[in-house]
């Protein structure tokens, strides 16, 4: 499917005078370098804040919205053009003719004055089976240039990055240097006053940034005031090989770090130039693994390299290997998604991949390592259980073994009793990213979602063990799992007044969807008990879960409605809700929820699906698109396709030009960026169908 966005063109008059195609869709924001919570650079495309999906004419931004200077210029037969960013006094913009995205790549095609064609590929590797590559917050930009009109042309290529990458506080003073290591030329720049484990407006306040390319003939470099360096190139086609001597603030005569490459005479054969942008942090995360003991965890990649320059040069040289692996992953995701539910589904899953993986950080050593997740934008928490839960289908599909690395910090914290032992339910999170320090102070406890998080931990732990056959993990954590189940036996049938994960909707007692999660989780524990030889527990929990699900069907369903459906909460027959928690029953094959309940919901949803998706419940026209896709995964094919296509339409028509938001208004009545959840890893939940053994309504009753 190719979409044309003619309506956007008037906004772009000064930069763009021809139109681009977009395939498979024009996303809300285009991932450029998206590999970790701190390497997260995008080009806003749709709606407010976006320019319609063009690489030139607008600055890239950090996920949180601040400008991240990244510029591209090219000279063809002595005439200069701009192909990325919005520099002052920019030379003529190139004409973008196509944009295509895959799971790991964003690919722009440019027509430069009818003379040459440029293909610019932004590749942020996703390598689920390969922890070394996964652990590196490094990303590629690959520029191919060839003749368009069949004639030879003389070409020079230019690109720079600004100090804006290195801190979200533009008054911070930077230092920089230039060098070369093992044939990789680099600019290195960093905050002079390093603040480990701190953030400035969500950007990291520590670590060294590198902008690199091959150290070959025809390369020149320069650091200096942005306009000076760029003008040097547009006038002369090469840089002066000099370093700006005055270390200063990011916004003080904006220092930029530029490379120019003389490509010589280009003809039929594409000439390729590779650039990498990298963030090297020796330590990545602080983690309290026992009371009073906060450990500094190194970035996992430091285990594989003697120093960061070796890592840099290795990554640079690895481009062809990793591009091959990523293209294979792209093909698999697209093919599997199309086979499961068609092109609209593939449009969504392929868009979700970098956003989901971009919230992760592998930290520790090869012997003891963890996979941390940042709850980007909604709270900045680390290891939020009810954010891991909507994210986790993508891991179940791509590499379920990684789930252990994500659950471990939560189990270590709670087995070690880092928190005062006053609560019997599962913790909500471990603190604020990148500080997983837990909540040892009883006066500042974490947010409470007792029923939600007990259910999530049980469901995710069993799912991990089923997919990997790691029954030992269940044995090791049996005591905690059993304790949380005790809580659910007490609390899940009649949930007290509390918030669910959809906390923006406020607290409510007797929430039908929350209750069913707890009940499914009790049955999950029955399976866990049976798998680990605790047969008495297994029998007793099975009995409890079965009796609860019977009662729940009386309490939570309006049988008299036409068509019948579950309610938002017990006793309120005029309400309805998205019963997304039954997804876990299918994923785990707990066979607790009757097929009739799946069928009833599947038949009901089409009455309430809005223009842009299936809302959460009666209270608001708001959707959580992750939960909508959980329900799609266990609906009949018709309903599934309706939910998926409505979300795909929203992706294409979104009024919000920011990394895809998951919580929005299904009528389009919340068109501004303010208040939305941006760039969250919960898009991993769009992989709900692919995480199931079989898709659709389960074959049991
Ligand atoms: C872009 O396309 C317009 C319309 O076809 C044309 O006038 C203009 O010269 C092109 N610019 C470049 C840089 O190719
Ligand atoms: C330098 O690069 C070469 C070729 O890519 C590679 O074989 C060698 O291992 C690299 N050396 C270091 C120290 O990274
Ligand atoms: C369940 O309720 C019983 C009786 O009130 C109580 O003793 C027990 O501690 C509760 N279990 C949990 C895990 O909260
Ligand atoms: C929950 O529902 C039950 C059964 O309808 C009712 O007895 C109870 O009062 C409700 N709890 C709250 C807090 O409203
Ligand atoms: C657990 O095993 C018991 C028999 O010991 C069986 O009755 C029960 O159905 C099993 N539960 C599950 C969820 O498999
Ligand atoms: C899914 O399929 C795999 C492989 O066929 C099987 O081992 C597993 O038990 C199935 N069920 C779940 C819940 O993963």
Instruction: Spell out the residues 6+ positions from residue 139 whose beta carbon is closer than 8 angstroms to its own.
Output: 32, 33, 34, 35, 39, 122, 123, 124, 125, 276, 277, 278
State the average pLDDT over residues 202-213: 98
Is 306 domain-assigned? no
Cβ pair 74, 81 in contact under 8 A? yes
- DSSP class of residue 498? B
Q: Point out the domain boundary residue: 237, 266, 281.
A: 281
Percent of the chain with pLDDT over 90: 92
- At 221, the pLDDT band (50, 70, 90 cuts) reads very high
Cβ pair 167, 191 in contact under 8 A? yes
At residue 326, the 3 state secondary structure works out as: helix
At residue 626, the 3 state secondary structure works out as: helix
Indicate which CATH number applies to the domain containing 113: 2.70.98.40
Indicate which CATH number applies to the domain containing 368: 1.50.10.10
Place of tokens 């590797």: 125
At residue 62, the 3 state secondary structure works out as: strand
Q: Whose CA is nearest to atom 4 of ligand 2?
A: 317
pTM of this structure: 0.96
One domain for residues 508 and 406: yes
Using CA atoms in the order 169, 171, 177, 180, what is the torsion angle rounded to 10 degrees? 30
One domain for residues 277 and 341: no
Q: How far apart are the CA of 371 and the centre of ligand 5, in A?
A: 33
Q: Which atom of ligand 1 is nearest to the CA of 81?
A: 13
Check pocket membership of 466 for ligand 5, CB cut-off 6 A.
no
Q: Which atom of ligand 1 is nearest to the CA of 93?
A: 13
Q: How far apart are the CA of 488 and the centre of ligand 3, in A?
A: 9
State the average pLDDT over residues 283-292: 97
One domain for residues 680 and 555: yes
Range of the domain at 128: 70-96+105-281
For the segment 572-610, what is each residue's pLDDT rounded down to a tens digit? 999 999 999 999 999 999 999 999 999 999 999 999 999
Is 502 domain-assigned? yes
Whether the per-residue pLDDT at 9 is higher than 50: the answer is: no
Work out whether the CA dihedral 198, 202, 204, 205 comes out positive or negative. Answer: negative
For the segment 110-136, what is each residue's pLDDT rounded down to a tens digit? 999 999 999 999 999 999 999 999 999
Beta bridge partners, 374, equal 382
One domain for residues 475 and 549: yes
One domain for residues 498 and 389: yes
Distance CA 111, CA 17 (A): 11
The torsion angles phi and psi of 408, rounded to 5 degrees, stand at -50, -50
Q: Domain total for the chain? A: 2
Distance CA 384, CA 429 (A): 4
Is 192 domain-assigned? yes
At residue 625, the 3 state secondary structure works out as: helix
State the average pLDDT over residues 216-237: 98
- At 372, the pLDDT band (50, 70, 90 cuts) reads very high
Check pocket membership of 198 for ligand 5, CB cut-off 6 A.
no
- DSSP class of residue 200? E
Q: Point out the domain boundary residue: 237, 262, 281.
A: 281
One domain for residues 505 and 600: yes
Distance CA 331, CA 465 (A): 28
One domain for residues 262 and 387: no
Most informative mutation of 474, 522, 542, 547 for ligand 5 (most atoms within 8 A of CB): 542
For the segment 548-580, what is each residue's pLDDT rounded down to a tens digit? 999 999 999 999 999 999 999 999 999 999 999
């Amino acid at each position: 499917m190719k979409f044309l966005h003619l309506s956007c063109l008037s906004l772009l008059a000064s930069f763009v005078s021809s139109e681009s195609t977009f395939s498979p869709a024009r996303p809300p924001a285009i991932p450029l370098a998206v590999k970790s919570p701190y390497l997260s650079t995008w080009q806003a495309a749709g709606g407010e804040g976006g320019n319609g999906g063009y690489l030139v004419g607008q600055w890239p931004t950090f996920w949180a919205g601040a400008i991240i200077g990244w510029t591209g210029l090219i000279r063809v037969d002595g005439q200069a053009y701009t192909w990325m960013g919005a520099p002052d006094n920019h030379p003529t913009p190139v004409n973008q003719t196509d944009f295509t995205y895959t799971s790991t790549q964003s690919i722009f095609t440019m027509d430069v004055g009818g003379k040459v064609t440029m293909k610019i590929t932004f590749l942020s590797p996703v390598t689920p089976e390969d922890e070394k590559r996964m652990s590196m917050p490094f990303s590629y930009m690959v520029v191919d240039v060839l003749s368009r009109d069949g004639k030879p042309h003389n070409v020079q290529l230019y690109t720079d990055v600004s100090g804006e990458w290195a801190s979200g506080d533009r008054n911070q003073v930077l230092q920089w240097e230039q060098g070369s290591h093992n044939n990789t030329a680099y600019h290195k720049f960093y905050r002079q006053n390093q603040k480990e484990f701190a953030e400035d407006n969500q950007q990291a306040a520590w670590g060294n940034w590198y902008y690199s390319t091959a150290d070959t003939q025809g390369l020149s470099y320069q650091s200096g005031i942005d306009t000076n360096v760029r003008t040097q190139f547009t006038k002369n086609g090469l840089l002066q090989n000099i370093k700006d001597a005055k270390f200063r603030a990011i916004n003080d005569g904006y220092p930029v770090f530029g490379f120019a490459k003389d490509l010589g005479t280009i003809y039929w054969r594409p000439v390729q130039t590779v650039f990498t942008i990298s963030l090297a942090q020796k330590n990545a995360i602080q983690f309290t693994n026992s009371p009073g003991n906060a450990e500094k965890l190194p970035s996992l990649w430091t285990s594989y390299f003697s120093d960061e320059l070796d890592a840099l040069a290795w990554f640079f040289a690895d481009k062809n290997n990793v591009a091959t692996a990523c293209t294979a992953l792209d093909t698999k995701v697209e093919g599997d998604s199309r086979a499961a539910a068609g092109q609209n589904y593939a449009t969504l899953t392929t868009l979700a991949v970098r956003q989901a993986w971009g919230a992760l950080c592998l930290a520790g050593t090869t012997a003891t390592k963890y996979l941390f997740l940042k709850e980007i934008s909604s709270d900045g928490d680390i290891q939020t259980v009810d954010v891991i839960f909507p994210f986790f289908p993508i891991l179940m599909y791509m590499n379920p073994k990684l789930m252990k690395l994500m659950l471990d910090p939560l189990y270590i914290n709670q087995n070690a009793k880092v928190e005062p032992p006053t609560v019997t339910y599962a913790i909500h999170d471990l603190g604020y990213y990148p500080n997983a320090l837990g909540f040892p102070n009883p006066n500042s406890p974490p947010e409470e979602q007792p029923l939600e998080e007990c259910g999530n931990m049980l469901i995710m732990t069993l799912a991990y063990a089923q997919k990997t056959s790691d029954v030992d993990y269940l044995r090791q954590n049996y005591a905690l799992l059993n304790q949380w189940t005790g809580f659910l036996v007490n609390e899940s049938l009649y949930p007290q007044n509390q918030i669910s994960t959809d906390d923006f909707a406020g607290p409510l007692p007797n929430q039908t969807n929350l209750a069913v999660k707890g009940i499914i989780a009790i049955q999950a524990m029955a399976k866990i008990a049976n798998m680990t030889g605790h047969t008495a527990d297994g029998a007793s929990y099975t009995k409890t879960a079965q009796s609860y699900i019977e009662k729940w069907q009386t309490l939570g369903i309006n049988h008299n409605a036409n068509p019948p459906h579950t309610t938002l909460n017990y006793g309120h027959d005029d309400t309805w809700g998205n019963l997304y928690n039954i997804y876990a029953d299918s994923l785990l094959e707990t066979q607790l929820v009757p097929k009739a309940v799946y069928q009833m919901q599947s038949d009901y949803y089409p009455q309430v699906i809005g223009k842009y998706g299936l809302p959460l419940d009666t209270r608001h026209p708001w959707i959580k698109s992750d939960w909508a896709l959980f329900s799609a995964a266990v609906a009949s094919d018709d309903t599934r396709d309706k939910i998926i296509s409505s979300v795909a339409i929203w992706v294409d028509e979104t009024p919000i030009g920011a990394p895809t938001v998951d919580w929005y208004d299904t009528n389009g009545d919340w068109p501004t960026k303010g208040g939305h959840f941006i760039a969250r890893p919960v898009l991993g939940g769009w992989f709900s169908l692919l995480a199931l053994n079989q898709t659709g309504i389960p074959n049991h009753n």
